[in-house]
Structure 1
């Protein structure tokens, strides 16, 4: 099997992920890599001092990786709006991870068939999203919220009939 065949998917297209080093410079830490498109790319190196600074910042300032307990959303099952008051996710909604956690919480309420709280929470989150200035990046998130809001209102109107 040739090297070019090794890096191809079953359908014949090149795998975009696999890159292997061709040449390295131990002095600067730079590595020359051949991309799947055939182009050469130089990855910049990092000195030991820079690495130690980055490691110290990660451990001291950021306090290491964020650890999320398993089933952490279970504590909000009885009072979902309590999540709003306690959640630090609302502090910075420009961070995509925070927005996705909120959307995940909305999905959880929806699939638990808690349509009333889901509708309240989703409309409140949508109002907070509209105050942000990055609307183009959040188009899919707005569409998802609109979809959930319409389905919740449909379920609520069916329940009242």
Structure 2
């Protein structure tokens, strides 16, 4: 479950940035080659390079969280094996807090890692999104002057 939830950020979290870059690219189609757009094209290239670096860093973070979730899943699997061997034992009231801890360990890692990953990625993506928006405004104003 954790890996599937973490993949959602890659699909949803960066879409506003990607749409802004796509709109900017479409504005460059409108601009003539004799317009002074080389500076804007260079900025777009730098922005796309920064995004590629961001994706590599996000993948590294993603794999770190996959390892953490896998360790938790392995621990839960070992606990289930122990519970299976202890199935004939009497259940006392002391097991209630332990069962709550098991439920917590089963449900908490995926949303927690998604929250941490999305917060960190959003923090890294925010300056790039601002640059993409400004580049879109600059290209739009240049296209409007044609």
Q: Same fold (TM over 0.5)?
A: no
Higher fraction of helix: 2
Question: What's the TM-score, normalizing by structure 2?
Answer: 0.27
Higher RCO (CA-CA < 8 Å; seq separation 6+):
2
Higher fraction of strand: 1
